[in-house]
Structure 1
Amino acid sequence: MLIDAMLVIGAGIGCAVAYHLYAQSVLGKANVYAAASALVALNFILLIIVQQGYRLKAITDLPRTLRMTGTTWTGVFGALLAIAFAMKVSDEFSRGTTISFYAVGLAVLVIWKAFAARWTANALRTGAFANSRAVMIAEIGLPASSNAISDLAQHGYRLMRIMEIRERELTSPLLLSAIAPRFDELIAYARENRIEHVFLLMSWDRQHAIDSILDALKILPIPVHLVPDAHAARFLRYPLHSAGNTWTAELRRAPLSWNERALKRSLDLAGASLALIVFAPVMLVTAVLIKLTSPGPVFFRQTRNGFNGRAFKIFKFRTMRVLEDGPKVVQARKNDPRVTGIGKWLRKTSIDELPQLFNVLKGEMSLVGPRPHAAAHNSEYEQIIGNYAFRHHVKPGITGWAQVNGYRGETRALELMQKRVEFDLWYINNWSLWLDLIILFKTALVSVGQRSAY
């Protein structure tokens, strides 16, 4: 936290001084920029704390740390700029300084986070943080097969001694009598060496043995921890949540947290509104051309499956002479006779997709996400592609990661659809606001040059 604060404040003051000396040959209001930099640093650190970003596990998870840093930094800047504008104090800050502070501050933080993640991971592997003295009482054979010992050593505990107990002794109703001398020796060792923790490593179904050992250790005023056995450890790797007095392991989390959903929805609303204003003339001309060149409605509506598999009606400009929306829908192919003359051009340029901006505003779709397929195709592929249903864990999009990587339009072979699903799932598991912006930028580049949509 201290280094984060120093880097942010240093970047803010440095950018202000450098920009003013370069642009105006004067130092400028250094005290104002110093105060603003401190405010940015404070808000950034508080938001990282809320997201538990300063825990060892978070620090060493570099992809998560970088996503958190990028989104938090951008969010802090956006919020503070909005407040400065609303309070009419934005004139106090030059645009050049603000932009350079955002870019330089983010770059410095990313470099520092990458270094910190690597250094911390190496320190954990070498046991640099293993300062708390501990002993372990284990079922014989388990220490050799369990990852618990190395995990404890990496996260602050130095195992000074391990006492192993045979299986037949653990199942004996006279456990304490059978191993009394060994327990007396362990207790004396704990006192002499100032042991701070005791860990029990044994199968959780040995309730009598666990209770007996706890009773024997009550003479020591130190905490006793029960290490998960192989069966419980499998599930306790997942995040734990309390439901009243009950704890649950979240075996599968929602793909996006509530704040990530809010961030993505904000981008959708802002982007869709702006796009409708920019493309309004294009959409108006397109509607007129469709009406003049072929009989039928301007818009084509078809049932698709969105978030959580819920059905909705997608909007597109009509590009065919037919309006298929039933249990059987035939994909458009190259030189498809059903496609109208103007429809070929609309499909090639992706202008036919623009009405989906209304679906985005309604909350049925997102600007970026897995492309929704016709309900008939959806039912078919869910039966033959194992992970297909995971595509419905987020809102479908007008464009997506699969589309900017070449998997767009007709899927002539099952392998093509499997590859599209693979890219969609990667997107869901690696979502970030920055990734959405990259996909939107790439979409603008490839929408004209792509040749797989007919």
Structure 2
Amino acid sequence: MNSPIKPKGPLYPTNLSDQPQVIRLHHSKILALFRALDGLLILIMLWLVLRVLQIEWGSAYAALAMGAVITFGFFAEGNEIYYLWRGYSMTSLASRIVIAWLLTAMMILLAFSTLISFKKLELEPVILWLTLTPEVMIAMHWARRVILAKIRSNPSEPRRVAIVGANDLGARMTKSIADTPWLGYRVVGFYDDRISGEQDDRRIDMSSHGVPVSGDLDQLYTDAHAGKIDIVFLTLPMRAEFRIHSVINRLADTTVTPYVIPDVFNFDLLHSRLTCIQGIPALSIYDSPLVDNSLVKRLEDLVIGLAMLIALAVPMMIIAVGVKLTSKGPIFFKQTRYGMRGEHIKVWKFRSMTVCEDGDHVTQAKKGDMRVTRFGNFLRRTSLDELPQLFNVLSGSMSLVGPRPHAVAHNEYYRGQIKGYMLRHKVKPGITGLAQINGYRGETETLDKMSGRIAYDLEYIRNWSLLLDLKILWGTLFKGFVGQHAY
């Protein structure tokens, strides 16, 4: 009798690294469900409003509802409503829903006033529907979080978390878990081999965070084998690669789920984004918010910029006449500045000086500068000399809101003096910006003043949103036009 054929090797590999490795994105089935429910809610809310007002549901209302579902889905994706960004507060989620719905409402009202089929609709039910829908939607998402928090915090099925690394990142992780009870996580302890108080060591006292240091790594393995831990978050510094490998390899002999939390916050992140390329995770350190939002930003510039140009056309013509009558030279002054990605652009201004400097050596205007004309002094103090930059905005070389463009000569000087200076060119320069409404307008004669301006510029890029742009434009009306240091 023939003996069975024996395999040449093990049926399953013992070394997981021998297999092609990819990282899959985590998808939430609950968020996918609520994406569909939000669309259904938009339809139901319009139907209910029509029913209450005793208005017949017709094809025009059906088209309106379907258009709103599609439009809201687009803006909701842009505002990351259904992304699994665990840790967003309910206030943050509500603001994202409101912004997405406001943009949807703007599109709906635009269609309402232009398309012939929509002119058959009555305005009262549409306004009522646009008002009530986001409130009900927010309430539904709030209920989701409350219910999930109740279910996941059930003590009969805890998700016990251990954190390896008694350091700042570990403390931040603990706070994030405490702030998101709907995740159902409970930190049971920190584990760290390092001795508290050692020099050149980042271990910190965790007593103030309400979670004890339960022991060293040997104790971690003991507790993991005893079934006292479900999840392990490794918050060790990136330089501790060997220790991270060692912990993960030993945890392979348990049933816990380890997560590696890279300590990327040591970098000065600028609008950082996480992406995945064929299963390979990639984290950008210095990124631009316009990578995914360039269309929204451009629409903002075109709509508001064109409206401003129409409203200011007559004052601009009066200013042009004033420039021509009060001094010799051209009405407009074009100076080379750095635009997005450091490209050279020509920035338009009303001429306010007797000279038109544009080269390797440009001297900033100072108090009592003899080059500034009398009419030009008024223009500069009120920022009216900047109005022609609306042409830059409409042509696409500038934006309404962004870091103020500096002369090329100033750029080349300060890029070697201030860390991260050139990062301000990750977005288009603006007519006004976060720095300008916070007092950094006009002359920056000291390095400290320029550093302060750059700090606000980078803060703007780091936290960019359409709502922030609108806040800056509103603030410019009261703070951005007149300044003590504008000469």
TM-score relative to the length of structure 1: 0.70
Q: Is 1:294 the equivalent of 2:340?
A: no
1:29 has 2:55 as partner: yes
What is the aligned counterpart of 1:251 among 284, 289, 310? 284
One-letter code aligned to 1:241: T
Return the alpha-carbon distance in structure 1 between the equivalents of residues 154 and 108 of structure 2: 38
Q: Is the 8 A contact 2:153 2:185 kept in 1?
A: no
Which residue does 2:96 correspond to in 1? Answer: 68
Match of 1:228 among 251, 260, 285: 260
Counterparts in 2 of 1:373 and 1:256: CA distance versus 1, 3 Å: same
Is the Cα contact below 8 Å between 1:200 and 1:224 reproduced in 2? no
- 1:323–1:59 distance in 2 versus 1, CA, 3 Å: same
8 Å contact from structure 1 (residues 240, 248) kept in 2: yes
Give the match's secondary structure for 2:367.
coil
Identity of aligned residues (%): 34
The answer to whether the 8 A contact 1:269-1:360 is kept is yes
Matched letter for residue 29 of structure 1: I
Paired AA for residue 128 in structure 1: S
1:90 counterpart residue number: 118
Query: Aligned letter for 2:391?
Result: F
Runs of at least 5 residues in structure 2 that lack an aligned partner in the other structure: 1-33, 189-220
- Report 1:22-171 matches (<5 A): 27=53, 29=55, 31=57, 36=64, 40=68, 44=72, 48=76, 53-55=81-83, 57-58=85-86, 60-62=88-90, 65-66=93-94, 68-95=96-123, 98-99=126-127, 101-103=129-131, 105-106=133-134, 119=146, 123=149, 128=153, 142=164, 155=183
The counterpart of 1:335, out of the listed 368, 383, 390, is: 368
Q: 1:239-275 CA distances to partner (integer Å, 9 max, x unpaired)?
A: 5433346x13213263315442210111111222222
Give the C-alpha shift of residue 156 in structure 1: 5.5
Aligned residue number for residue 397 of structure 2: 364
Give the whole-Å Cα distance in 2 for the aligned partners of 1:63 and 1:55.
Answer: 16
CA contact (8 A) 1:366 1:396 kept: yes
Which one-letter code corresponds to 1:72 in the other structure? Answer: A
1:117–1:292 distance in 2 versus 1, CA, 3 Å: farther
State the Cα deviation string for residues 124-179 of structure 1 (Å, max 9, x = none). 9x96278878899x9xx95888959979997467999xxxxxxxxxxxxxxxxxxx
SS of equivalent residue, structure 2 residue 349: strand
Q: 2:344 aligns with which of 311, 315, 320?
A: 311
Is the CA contact (8 Å cut-off) linking 2:403 and 2:430 kept in structure 1? Answer: yes
Per the TM alignment, residue 320 of structure 1 is displaced from its structure 2 partner at its CA by 0.2
Q: 1:317 to 1:252 in 2, by over 3 A?
A: same
Letter of the structure 2 residue corresponding to residue 413 of structure 1: T
Q: Aligned to 2:461, which of 406, 422, 428? A: 428
Which residue of 1 is the match for residue 446 of structure 2? 413
Taking structure 1 as reference, are residues 403 and 249 closer, same or farther at Cα in structure 2, changes over 3 Å only?
A: same
Partner secondary structure for residue 384 of structure 1: coil
Q: 1:257 to 1:310 in 2, by over 3 A?
A: closer
Instruction: Kindly state the Cα deviation for residue 308 of structure 1 after the two structures are TM-superposed.
Output: 1.7
1:242 paired to 2:284: no
Match of 1:280 in 2: 313
Q: Secondary structure at the match of 2:352?
A: coil
Once residues 454 and 78 of structure 2 are traced to their aligned partners in structure 1, the CA distance between those partners, rounded to angstroms, is 34
Give the counterpart letter for 1:350 in structure 2: S
Whether 1:373 aligns to 2:417 is no
Number of residue pairs the alignment of both structures matches: 410
**Contact kept? 1:9, 1:34, Cα under 8 Å:** no
CA RMSD of aligned residues (A): 4.9
With normalisation by structure 2, the TM-score equals 0.65
What is the DSSP-based 3-state SS (H/G/I as helix, E as strand, rest coil) of the residue aligned with 1:300?
strand
* Pair 108,306 (structure 1): closer, same or farther in 2 beyond 3 Å: farther
Change (3 A) 1:120 1:401: farther
| Partner SS, residue 296 of structure 1 | coil
CA contact (8 A) 2:436 2:480 kept: no
- Residue identity opposite 1:91 in structure 2: K
User: Distance between the aligned counterparts of 2:337 and 2:432, measured in 1?
Assistant: 15
Matched residue type, 1:75: L
The structural deviation recorded for 1:342 is 1.8
Q: Distance in 2 between matches of 1:158 and 1:361?
A: 53
Q: Which amino acid aligns with 2:318?
A: V
Counterpart-to-counterpart distance in 2, 1:233 and 1:442: 31
1:163 is matched with none
More divergent stretch after superposition (426-435 vs 318-327): 426-435
Secondary structure, counterpart of 1:316 in structure 2? strand
Q: Tell me if structure 1 keeps the 8 A contact 2:273–2:287.
A: no
Q: Secondary structure at the match of 2:82?
A: coil
Where structure 1 has 5 or more consecutive residues not aligned to the other structure, the ranges are 19-26, 161-181, 218-222
Query: Which residue identity does 1:228 align to in structure 2?
Result: V
**2:435 counterpart SS class:** helix
CA–CA distance in structure 2, aligned partners of residues 234 and 350 of structure 1: 39
CA shift at 1:440, angstroms? 1.9
SS at 2:380 equivalent: helix
Say which of 362, 382, 386 aligns to 1:353. Answer: 386
